[in-house]
């Protein structure tokens, strides 16, 4: 059984720096691969049936599916954005790199590292700003960044960050309502080399971003208020975050 599991994993030693002996090793590989599969196998037809577009700003589209569990809104959310001048590596790096997160995540009150698991994975504790009259929320999740190379079975050259809820003894759920999440940011970089054969500049690159968020608010919150907050905050986050990456990288060499 163990052997079968190992064989179905995507060459893990090459793509994750976490030790195979770590208790989260299998989960991180499986969840990350599932995100890539979900992206690569979804057909346009299926997408159109399943998802409702709630924001269409041309280069940024946000979709949701209405879903409730015991009266709690758990609407899955998906956003697709194309941004000129930055690469998928840069987008994923700044999404994962947590130190400056408060600069672009306006809905966060605080964030801290609970534990580093390896150089591409850490456990994070986010405290989310309170929205009256709902109780304040927090989250505890592993955050993993990975480069999927074009010649692997996983699909085209991509960068991916996954934020996935977990438990940790140094992060007890005793102060706030604990939300759970499965969030992924997947990026592909499109390069249009200059016709004159010159050097590739930021004008020649565009990134295609697919962001998905399955969030359970972890306890009752007024459904219509929650949907209103999501509809406002997710597009705001994507605009603000991608602008942050543009500003951060504009005078730096391109990180392919």
Q: By CB under 6 A, name the binding residues for ligand 16C.
A: 101, 105, 107, 126, 128-129, 131, 134, 137, 163, 179, 181, 183, 213, 215, 217, 221-222, 225-226, 229-230, 233-234, 237
> d(Cα 217, Cα 107) in Å, to the nearest integer?
14
User: Taking the complex as a whole, how short is the minimal distance between the CB of residue 83 and ligand 16C, in angstroms?
Assistant: 16
User: Taking the complex as a whole, how short is the minimal distance between the CB of residue 27 and ligand 16C, in angstroms?
Assistant: 17
Q: Round to the nearest angstrom and report the end-to-end CA distance of the chain.
A: 39
User: Taking the complex as a whole, how short is the minimal distance between the CB of residue 219 and ligand 16C, in angstroms?
Assistant: 9
Bridge pairing between strands 108-118 and 137-148: unpaired
Nearer to ligand 16C, 52 or 107 (CB): 107
Radius of gyration for the chain, computed over Cα atoms and rounded to the nearest angstrom: 19
> d(Cα 52, Cα 66) in Å, to the nearest integer?
9
Nearer to ligand 16C, 28 or 254 (CB): 28
Phi-psi region of 218 (alpha: psi -120 to 50; beta: other; left: phi over 0): left
User: Taking the complex as a whole, how short is the minimal distance between the CB of residue 223 and ligand 16C, in angstroms?
Assistant: 9
Nearer to ligand 16C, 22 or 240 (CB): 240
The two three-digit tokens of residue 44, written as one number: 């346009």
């Amino acid at each position: 059984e163990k052997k079968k599991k190992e064989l179905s994993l995507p060459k893990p030693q090459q793509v994750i720096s976490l030790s195979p002996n770590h208790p989260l090793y299998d989960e991180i590989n499986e969840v990350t691969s599932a995100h890539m599969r979900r992206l690569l196998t979804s057909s346009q037809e299926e997408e159109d049936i399943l998802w409702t577009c709630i924001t269409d700003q041309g280069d940024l589209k946000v979709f949701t599916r209405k879903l409730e569990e015991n009266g709690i809104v758990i609407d899955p959310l998906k956003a697709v954005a194309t941004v000129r001048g930055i690469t998928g590596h840069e987008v994923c790096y700044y999404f994962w790199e947590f130190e400056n997160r408060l600069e672009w995540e306006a809905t966060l009150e605080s964030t801290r590292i609970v534990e580093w698991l390896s150089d591409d994975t850490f456990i994070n504790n986010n405290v989310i700003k309170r929205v009256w009259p709902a109780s304040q929320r927090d989250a505890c999740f592993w955050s993993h960044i990975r480069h999927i190379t074009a010649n692997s079975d996983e699909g085209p050259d991509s960068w991916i960050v996954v934020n996935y809820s977990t438990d940790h003894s140094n992060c007890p759920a005793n102060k706030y309502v604990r939300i759970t999440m499965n969030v992924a940011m997947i990026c592909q970089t499109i390069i249009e080399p200059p016709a004159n054969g010159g050097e590739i500049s930021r004008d020649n690159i565009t990134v295609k971003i697919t962001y998905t968020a399955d969030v359970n608010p972890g306890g009752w919150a007024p459904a219509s208020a929650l949907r209103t907050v999501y509809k406002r905050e997710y597009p705001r986050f994507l605009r603000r975050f991608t602008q942050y990456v543009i500003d951060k990288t504009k005078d730096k060499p391109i990180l392919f």
